[in-house]
C-alpha cells in the first residue's frame, strides 16, 4: 500500500518538478476545438467555468475551495473509448474503474471508485439533479462487491456537453452518497447537429465494437432550445481463457462401470490422474472453446432530450430525460458432460450456460426557475428515474425436469424507482464591503421503491425427476436452472422509503482574497431516522498565482434499498472453486439465524487541504485528503459448514453450501493525494500541451467485526469480513495511478498520446494452505504469506504496476468533418498472471487462483484483459 506518511514525499516539490499535467480537460462543444480548458487555468482566456459544488451560479474552477475537474465532450472522445467510465478513468486523478469478467450483471455495470472509496460513495448528478442507481446489487468477487452501481451506459456520449467531478465530501450540499464526491453530467444545449461513428477490434481479431450517435439542437421560442440525442453501441466478446484440461466425461472403472470425472487440472489429457479410464472423446473435444473469459457482448440503445424555454423575462421552464435499453450476454462456468448438473441427452459434451441481462432505464425531469421572487433566485423541480433489470439463462437446463427441461429460463429481476422533488432559493445580500453575503436554502423530498420479481417456475422449481444416468443415476437431481436457480415467489420483495431534507449554505469573500463557505443539511429517512451534516470550506489567494484551499465536513450514506432487501442464489468463487451461495437480506426472517442485522447509515468525516499555482503556461495543484468512514456497508465473507447447510435446509433453503449478507462490518480510514499539473508551449510549428494527473491512496481498517455469535454456535470461525474481503476492498484497486498526456495541434492535425501507469493491486483468494501446498504454488509469483494459528498460510498475490499507452491521430478535413485513427494499449500490455494450477499443485492436493488452469488473469485487472485495440472514427458537425 502507498502511505505518503511513511514514504515522506514532499508534495509541493513533486508537483512542481513534474511540470506537466492535469488531463487536457474540458473543451466546450460550442467553442473552437483549439480552446483547451483545464482544471487550473493558465490565462484568463482558458479559465474553466463550473457549476458543481456551489449554489451561487457559475464560478471559475480555480476559485473553488474544493478540487473540481471539468472535462469537455471533445476531450472525452479524443480516444477510442465510447463508455463514459473508461473516459473518466484517464481524465480524473483518483477515478478508477475495473473491467470485470465472468461477473453477471456487473459486466455491464462497472463499479467506479473515487478517492479510493466504493461505488455507492460517489453521487452522480445529471444537470445538477440526482441520478437514480441501478436496481441490482453487485455480489461478485469484484471491486464494488456489496454495492449498487450507476448505469453509465444509459448516458450517451453524443448527449454530453461536459462532465464535472467534485473530489470532496459533499453530503452537506447534495445529501446521501456524496462521501467521496460528485460526478455531474452536463447535457449538451447547443444549436446544430453532430453525427459520429467509431469502430474497432482487438489485435487478436475479437472484441469488435461499433458505436454511432447523432444529436441535433434547434432554437425554441425566444431564447429557448430543444436538443435530442441518440446513440447505438454494439460490442462482441473477447476470450482470454486457456484450454480446460480437466476430465470432461465419465471414466470407466476396471469393472466397466462409469465413474464421475476428476475435476483436477490436467486429468483429461494425462497430465494428472483421471478417475477411471478416459473416454475416447477426451482426445477430440475442443478444449480451447469450453470457457469464455473476457469482455461480454451487448447491444445498447440510448436517447436523451434536453430543453429549456423562457416563459417570462426572468423565468425559464426546463426539462430533460432519457431512455436506454441494454441487452447483453455473458458466459458462466462450464458444466462438464460428467457432472450431475448436466442432462447428457441434451448436452452430450457438456454446456456453458449463458446469462442474459437486460437493463432498462427511464428518467425525466421538469422544472421552473427564475431570477427574482421577492429578491430571491428560485428553482422548483421534480425528477423521476426507473431502473429495471431482467435476467435469464440460455443454453441451460434444470436437471430435475429430466428430458422435458427447457433450455432457456427467465430468472427474474429487480426494479428501483426514485422520485425527487426540490425547491431552492438563493440571494446575494449586500453588506457594504463590495462583496455580498451569498445565502442559499431549500428542501428536498425523495421517494424510493425496490422490488424483486420472480422468474419463470422452471427456473427455480424442483421437477421431481432424479438424475437419469451415470454413476449417480436415481439420486436426487439439482433443482433449478443452471448455473443457479431463479428467484422464487418466496424471494419476491416490495419495499420502499421516503426522505425529507432541509439545507442551507452561506458564502462570503473577504478583500477579494479569502472565500469562506459553510453548508449544512438535515435529512430524515422513514426507515432509519435522521442525520445532520456540515461542511466548511475556504480558499485563500496568497498571490495572483498561488491559492490555498481546504475543507472539513461530515458526510453520510444511507444504505441502498437493494443492500437492505436484495436476496438471491449466486455462484461465487473461492480459491478457484465455484460455490452456490445464498445472499440473505438483512431484513429476511432467516437473517437472525445467521447473525445478520438491519443496516445503519455510513458516517464519514473528511479533511482536505490543497494548493493551486499558475504562472504563464504552467499550472499545478496538490490536494491531500483523509476520509474516516464508520459503519461501512460491505458484503460479508462466505460462511459455510455442514451444520449451516442443515440449518438452511430446516428453514426451506436446501442445496445451499454457503451464505453471505450485507453488513456494517468495518470502519476504515482512507488517506491520499491528488496531484495535477499542466504546461503549454510551442513546438514544431504547433502547440503542445503536456498534462499529468496522479493519485496515491491508502486505506486502513480501524475496526473489523468478529464472527456473528449465531455462526460461532455452529462452529464457524470465519471473520465477518475475512482477509480475502479485506484485501479486495483496500488493495483491489490501484494504490496509485499516474496519467501523462501529450496533445499536439498544428493546423488540421492533432496527435494525442496518453500514458497511464496503474499501480499494484492484490487479492487473497488462496487461504489456509499447508507449507507443501504453498511450495507447489508460489514459485515465480509475487506473493506474501500470512501465517495462521494452525500452521497453515494465507497467500496474498500482488500484480505489478503496468503502463498503458494510447495513441490517436486526428485530421480536420474542414471545420465540420474530423477523421481519427488510434490504438489503445498500443504495446499490448496484459496484467501479471495469477497463481497458476500445475501438476505439482495437484500432487499437493491444491489448485491456484486460475480455476484449475483456465483463467490466467485476476478479476481485479484495472485495465482489463483485452490487449491492444485498434479503431477509427469519423465526426461531422453542422
pLDDT > 50? residue 10: no
Strand-pairing partners, residue 316, are 310, 369
* Mean pLDDT along residues 105-131: 90
- Domains of the chain, each with CATH number or no CATH: 4-244+290-760+800-825+863-877 (2.40.170.20), 245-289 (no CATH)
* Helix/strand/coil percentages in the chain, nearest 5: 15, 45, 40
Residue with cell 429578491: 375
pLDDT at position 50: 63
- Mean pLDDT lowest for which of 54-63, 515-524, 673-682? 54-63
Mean pLDDT for 191-199 is 95
For residue 841, give every residue at least 6 positions away whose Cβ sits within 8 Å of its Cβ, in sequence order, or none: 265, 773, 776, 777, 847, 848
Label residue 17 by pLDDT band (50, 70, 90).
Answer: very low
- Three-class DSSP labels, 523-537: EEECCCEEEEEEEEE
What is the pLDDT at residue 551?
96
Percentage of residues in the chain with pLDDT exceeding 90?
Answer: 74
Q: Which three cell numbers stand for residue 824?
A: 489503445
Are the C-beta atoms of residues 419 and 382 closer than 8 Å to each other?
Answer: yes
- Residue 546 above 50 pLDDT? yes
Q: Which residues lie below 8 Å from residue 584, measured CB to CB, with a gap of 6+?
A: 567, 590, 591, 594, 596, 659, 660, 661
Per residue in 745-758, pLDDT tens?
Answer: 999 999 999 999 99
Which residue, chain included where needed, has cell 502511505?
3
The pLDDT of residue 337: 97
Of 472, 418, 476, nearest to 444 (Cα)?
418
Taking Cα atoms as reference points, which of 638, 647, 654, 636 lies closest to residue 721? 636
The 10s digit of each residue's pLDDT in 672-722 is 999 999 899 999 999 999 989 999 999 999 999 999 999 998 999 888 999
pLDDT at residue number 109: 84
Stronger pLDDT, 88 or 626, i.e. the higher one: 626
Residue 44 is predicted with a pLDDT of: 33
Q: Which residues contact 681 (CB under 8 A, 6 or more apart)?
A: 617, 687, 688, 690
Mean pLDDT lowest among 60-69, 314-323, 492-501: 60-69
Task: Return the percentage of the chain with pLDDT > 70, whole number.
Answer: 91
Residue 646 has pLDDT above 90, yes or no: no
pLDDT score at 72: 86
Give alpha helix (H) positions in 698-824.
Answer: 709-712, 723-731, 771-777
Instruction: Tell whether omega for the bond before 483 is within 30 degrees of 0, i.e. cis.
Output: yes
Q: Tell me the longest C-alpha to C-alpha distance in the chain.
A: 102
Q: Average pLDDT of the chain?
A: 89
Looking at residue 63, what is its pLDDT?
Answer: 72
Q: What whole-number distance in Å separates Cα of residue 698 and Cα of residue 63?
A: 28
> What average pLDDT does this structure show over 571-585?
65
- pLDDT level of residue 98 (50, 70, 90 thresholds): confident
For 485-512, what is the mean pLDDT?
94
Q: Does the structure show a pLDDT above 90 at 499? A: yes
Q: Tell which residue, 618, 780, 585, has the closest CA to residue 690.
A: 618
Q: Given this model, what pLDDT does residue 26 score? A: 32
* pLDDT greater than 80 at residue 662: yes
> Does 580 or 117 have the greater pLDDT score?
117
Question: Looking at the predicted structure, is the pLDDT value of residue 7 above 90?
Answer: no
Distance CA 621, CA 640 (A): 49
DSSP 8-state secondary structure symbol assigned to residue 347: -
**Quick one: CA torsion of 336, 340, 343, 348, rounded to 10 degrees?**
30
Residue 258, pLDDT above cutoff 50: yes
SS3 876: strand
Q: Above 90 in pLDDT, residue 404?
A: yes
What mean pLDDT do residues 228-234 have? 96
pLDDT-wise least confident of 140-144, 159-163, 436-440, 522-526: 140-144
Rounded Cα gap, residues 132 and 418, in angstroms = 6
Instruction: Provide the 10 A C-beta neighbour count for residue 469.
Output: 12
Nearest to 675 by CA among 3, 1, 5, 13: 13
* Across 110-131, average pLDDT: 92
pLDDT band at 655 (very low <50, low <70, confident <90, very high): low
DSSP letter, residue 407: S
Average pLDDT over residues 792-812: 96
- Residue whose cell numbers read 444511507: 558
What is the C-alpha separation between 424 and 52, in angstroms, rounded? 15
Residue 552 has pLDDT above 70, yes or no: yes
Amino acid at each position: 500500500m502507498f502511505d505518503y506518511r511513511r514514504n515522506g514525499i514532499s508534495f509541493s516539490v513533486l508537483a512542481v518538478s513534474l511540470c506537466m499535467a492535469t488531463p487536457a480537460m474540458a473543451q466546450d462543444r460550442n467553442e473552437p476545438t483549439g480552446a483547451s480548458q483545464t482544471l487550473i487555468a493558465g490565462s484568463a482566456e482558458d479559465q474553466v467555468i463550473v457549476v458543481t459544488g456551489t449554489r451561487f451560479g457559475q464560478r471559475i474552477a480555480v476559485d473553488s475551495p474544493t478540487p473540481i475537474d471539468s472535462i469537455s465532450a471533445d476531450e472525452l472522445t479524443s480516444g477510442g473509448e465510447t463508455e463514459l467510465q473508461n473516459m473518466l478513468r484517464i481524465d480524473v486523478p483518483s477515478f478508477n474503474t475495473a473491467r470485470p469478467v465472468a461477473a453477471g450483471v456487473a459486466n455491464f455495470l462497472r463499479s467506479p471508485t473515487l478517492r479510493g472509496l466504493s461505488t455507492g460513495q460517489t453521487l452522480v448528478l445529471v444537470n445538477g439533479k440526482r441520478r437514480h442507481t441501478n436496481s441490482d446489487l453487485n455480489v461478485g468477487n469484484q471491486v464494488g462487491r456489496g454495492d449498487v452501481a450507476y448505469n453509465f451506459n444509459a448516458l450517451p456520449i453524443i448527449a454530453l456537453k461536459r462532465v464535472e467531478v467534485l473530489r470532496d465530501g459533499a453530503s452537506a450540499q447534495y445529501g446521501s452518497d456524496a462521501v467521496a464526491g460528485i460526478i455531474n453530467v452536463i447535457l449538451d444545449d447547443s444549436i446544430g447537429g453532430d453525427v459520429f461513428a467509431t469502430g474497432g477490434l482487438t489485435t487478436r481479431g475479437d472484441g469488435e465494437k461499433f458505436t454511432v450517435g447523432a444529436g441535433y439542437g434547434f432554437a425554441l421560442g425566444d431564447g429557448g432550445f430543444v436538443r435530442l440525442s441518440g446513440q447505438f453501441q454494439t460490442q462482441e466478446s473477447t476470450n482470454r481463457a486457456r484450454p480446460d484440461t480437466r476430465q470432461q466425461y465419465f471414466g470407466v472403472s476396471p469393472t466397466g462401470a462409469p465413474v464421475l470425472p476428476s475435476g483436477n487440472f490436467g486429468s483429461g489429457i494425462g497430465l494428472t490422474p483421471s478417475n477411471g479410464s478416459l473416454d475416447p472423446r477426451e482426445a477430440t473435444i475442443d478444449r480451447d472453446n469450453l470457457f469464455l473469459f473476457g469482455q461480454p457482448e451487448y447491444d445498447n440503445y440510448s436517447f436523451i432530450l434536453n430543453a429549456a424555454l423562457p416563459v417570462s423575462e426572468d423565468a425559464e421552464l426546463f426539462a430533460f430525460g432519457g431512455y436506454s435499453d441494454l441487452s447483453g450476454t455473458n458466459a458462466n462456468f462450464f458444466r462438464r458432460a460428467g457432472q450431475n448438473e448436466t442432462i447428457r441427452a441434451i448436452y452430450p459434451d457438456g454446456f456453458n450456460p449463458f446469462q442474459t441481462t437486460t437493463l432498462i432505464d427511464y428518467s425525466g425531469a421538469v422544472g421552473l426557475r427564475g431570477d427574482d421572487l421577492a429578491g430571491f433566485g428560485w428553482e422548483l423541480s421534480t425528477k423521476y428515474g426507473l431502473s429495471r433489470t431482467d435476467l435469464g439463462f440460455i443454453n441451460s437446463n434444470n436437471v430435475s425436469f429430466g428430458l422435458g427441461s427447457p433450455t432457456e429460463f427467465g430468472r427474474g429481476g429487480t426494479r428501483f424507482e426514485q422520485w425527487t422533488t426540490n425547491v431552492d432559493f438563493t440571494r446575494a445580500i449586500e453588506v457594504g464591503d463590495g462583496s455580498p453575503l451569498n445565502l442559499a436554502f431549500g428542501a428536498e423530498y425523495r421517494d424510493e421503491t425496490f422490488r424483486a420479481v420472480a422468474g419463470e417456475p422452471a427456473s427455480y422449481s424442483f421437477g421431481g425427476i432424479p438424475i437419469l444416468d451415470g454413476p449417480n443415476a436415481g439420486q436426487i437431481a439439482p433443482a433449478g436452472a443452471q448455473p443457479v436457480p431463479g428467484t422464487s415467489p418466496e424471494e419476491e420483495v416490495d419495499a420502499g422509503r421516503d426522505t425529507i431534507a432541509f439545507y442551507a449554505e452561506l458564502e462570503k469573500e473577504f478583500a477579494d482574497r479569502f472565500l469562506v463557505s459553510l453548508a449544512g443539511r438535515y435529512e430524515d429517512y422513514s426507515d432509519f431516522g435522521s442525520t445532520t451534516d456540515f461542511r466548511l470550506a475556504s480558499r485563500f489567494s496568497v498571490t495572483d498565482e498561488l491559492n490555498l484551499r481546504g475543507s472539513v465536513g461530515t458526510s453520510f450514506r444511507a444504505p441502498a434499498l437493494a443492500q437492505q432487501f436484495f436476496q438471491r442464489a449466486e455462484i461465487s468463487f473461492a480459491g478457484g472453486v465455484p460455490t452456490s451461495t445464498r445472499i440473505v437480506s438483512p431484513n429476511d426472517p432467516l437473517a437472525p439465524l445467521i447473525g445478520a442485522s438491519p443496516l445503519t447509515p455510513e458516517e464519514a468525516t473528511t479533511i482536505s487541504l490543497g494548493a493551486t499555482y499558475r504562472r504563464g503556461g504552467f499550472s499545478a495543484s496538490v490536494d491531500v485528503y483523509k476520509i474516516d468512514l464508520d459503519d461501512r456497508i460491505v458484503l460479508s465473507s462466505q460462511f459455510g459448514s455442514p451444520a449451516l447447510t442443515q440449518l438452511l435446509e430446516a428453514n426451506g433453503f436446501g442445496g445451499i453450501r454457503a451464505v453471505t449478507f450485507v453488513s456494517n462490518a468495518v470502519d476504515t480510514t482512507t488517506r491520499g493525494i491528488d496531484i495535477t499539473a499542466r504546461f503549454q508551449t510551442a513546438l514544431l510549428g504547433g502547440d503542445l500541451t503536456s498534462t499529468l494527473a496522479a493519485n496515491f491512496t491508502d486505506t486502513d481498517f480501524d475496526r473489523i467485526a468478529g464472527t456473528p455469535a449465531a455462526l460461532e454456535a455452529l462452529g464457524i470461525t470465519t471473520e465477518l469480513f475475512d482477509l480475502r474481503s479485506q484485501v479486495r476492498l483496500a488493495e483491489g484497486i490501484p494504490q496509485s495511478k499516474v496519467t501523462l498526456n501529450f496533445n499536439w495541434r498544428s493546423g488540421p492535425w492533432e496527435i494525442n498520446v496518453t500514458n497511464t501507469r496503474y499501480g499494484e493491486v492484490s487479492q487473497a483468494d488462496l487461504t489456509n494452505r499447508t507449507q507443501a501446498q504453498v511450495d507447489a504454488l508460489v514459485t515465480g509469483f509475487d506473493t506474501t504469506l500470512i501465517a495462521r494459528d494452525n500452521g497453515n498460510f494465507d497467500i496474498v498475490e500482488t500484480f505489478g504496476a503496468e503502463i498503458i499507452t494510447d495513441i490517436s491521430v486526428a485530421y480536420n478535413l474542414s471545420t465540420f468533418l474530423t477523421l481519427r485513427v488510434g490504438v489503445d494499449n498500443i504495446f499490448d500490455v496484459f496484467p501479471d498472471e495469477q497463481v497458476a494450477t500445475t501438476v505439482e499443485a495437484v500432487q499437493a492436493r491444491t489448485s491456484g487462483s486460475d480455476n484449475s488452469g483456465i483463467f490466467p488473469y485476476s478479476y481485479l485487472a484495472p485495465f482489463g484483459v483485452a490487449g491492444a485495440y485498434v479503431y477509427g472514427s469519423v465526426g461531422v458537425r453542422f
